[in-house]
Amino acid sequence: MARAGPDAPGGRAAAPRGRTPWTPWRTVLAFGFVSLAADMVYEGMRSVAGPYLGSLGASALTVGIVTGAGEAVALVLRLVTGPWADRAQRHWRLTVVGYGLTAVCVPLLALAPALGAAGVAFAAALILAERTGKAVRSPAKSALLARVAVRTGRGKAFGVHKALDQVGAFAGPLLLAGTTAATGLIWPGLALLAVPGAVSLLLLALLRRRVPSVAEPDPDAAASSPPAGLLRPALGADLPGSFHRFSAAAALTTFGLMTFGVISFQFVRAGVFPTAAAPLVYAVAMAVGAVAALATGALFDRWSGGVLLVVPVLAAAVPWLVFDDRAAVVLAGVVVWGAATGVQDSAVKAFVADLVPAARRATAFGIFAAVQGLGALAGGAVAGALVTHHADALGGIVVAAQALAAYLMVTTLRRPGGVPSGH
């Protein structure tokens, strides 16, 4: 017997009396605006975290440890929060708690200068707490979005969500840059980020009221349970082999894309662009990423995972462009880098959602992010070691990694279970 309910394609959950339930697309847009507001908060903070800690008296070593530990927490902790969300069916609660940590911790950073010698420790604790919030919410939120997106097309839904996310990533640093230029201080901009933080929480409250199917446990997930124990669920021992092959492929493409920190360090060191131009170049990449997310999201719903084969092609070209000594070539490379990262965070997530059972989506998103994080760490380390004197060798390594990534993607698409149902 076919199941009718809020998660059935074309269905709509009954809202409380006197409230009209939101349509699937309105729900997707609401999730996107939540991410837009939250990205303004934490991307704004991340854009000034180093200089701000330095202004409080932190050494370069302290800044490196705090920011590095924060990124590690944001990725590795998802190996715990993903299975936790699936096992306890607390996707909504974890999403709210995670966004709440970001909305509260970042504005509180504005108090650090008033604490004197304790300011560094206070700021470091808040930065780590905010990154913990990212780890808590991300797998659960992606699972909720995947549930809603079944009625809109997952590629388009994740593409629209990523595009709005990128708008926030663009606006937050610009807001901090403007307030810092106007006041000569960083903390007023951090305090101002309380506004988009509050907006993100208000939108989450509206989602819960207007879209009961998001606030309630997923009936598909409730029908089955994760495997017993802690280690096996956290490592995805029960997930399909196609998921693990695709995760490895995504780690290799992330390895090739490196980080913007390495890219900007090199083009400033080489005198291609001045330091002041780095945020503008980054903004160009974010804008390109937003457009790429929208385009590939729509193509994913038509061609399924085949559209993702463009990522290793783009990644293979990045080091040969961004480490050139001509500004036009470097800018073209940043455009390619931005397009690839936009695809990575939109259609790629839609494909992951299609590869795994509904009951294990949060777990899968957590594992996938952790594996990508390892790829980013390795890519940043290799690029940092080779870019100054061995750029050609770096380019060759990246090309080889992308060839392997493409092979893994092709085998994922061709093997049984590698092509999502419904596409």
Q: Is the dihedral of CA 276, 279, 285, 287 positive or negative?
A: negative
What is the distance between the alpha carbons of residues 182 and 245, in angstroms, rounded to a whole number?
Answer: 50
Q: What is the DSSP letter of 5?
A: S
CA 88 to CA 234: how far, in whole Å? 14
Report the distance separating Cα 107 and Cα 176, nearest Å.
Answer: 12
Alpha-carbon distance of 144 to 214, in angstroms, equals: 6
Contact 146, 353 (CB under 8 A): yes
Residue 233: what pLDDT?
A: 60
> pLDDT tens-digit profile of 57-88?
888 677 767 776 777 678 778 888 888 887 77
Alpha carbons within 13 angstroms on the beta-carbon side of residue 57 total 11
Q: How confident is the model over 97-140, as pLDDT tens digits?
A: 999 999 999 999 999 999 988 999 999 999 999 989 998 998 88
Backbone angles phi, psi at 295, to 5 degrees: -65, -50
Q: Are the C-beta atoms of residues 212 and 14 closer than 8 Å to each other?
A: yes
| Structural domains of the chain sorted by starting position, each given as residue range(s) with its CATH number in brackets | 24-222 (1.20.1250.20), 234-414 (1.20.1250.20)
C-alpha to C-alpha distance for 257 and 398, rounded to whole angstroms: 9
pLDDT per residue as tens digits for the range 164-179:
888 888 888 888 888 8
Question: Residue 289 and residue 287: Cα distance in Å, rounded?
Answer: 5
Q: Assess contact for 65 and 143: CB atoms under 8 A.
A: no
- Please count the other Cβ atoms lying within 10 Å of the Cβ belonging to residue 390: 12
Both tokens of 390, joined, read: 């061995």
Q: Would residue 283 be called left, alpha or beta, if left means φ above 0 and alpha means ψ between -120 and 50 degrees?
A: alpha
Please give the average pLDDT of every successive group of 10 residues along the chain, which has 423 residues.
Answer: 37 50 84 92 80 80 72 78 80 91 95 92 92 89 81 79 84 84 88 95 87 60 53 68 90 84 77 74 81 82 80 94 92 93 80 82 84 80 81 93 94 63 40
d(CA 20, CA 23): 9
**Burial of 316 (C-beta count, 10 Å sphere; 0-12/13-18/19+):** buried
Q: Rounded to an integer, what distance in angstroms lies between the CA atom of residue 226 and that of residue 140?
A: 15
Number of helices followed by number of strands (H, E) in the chain: 19, 0
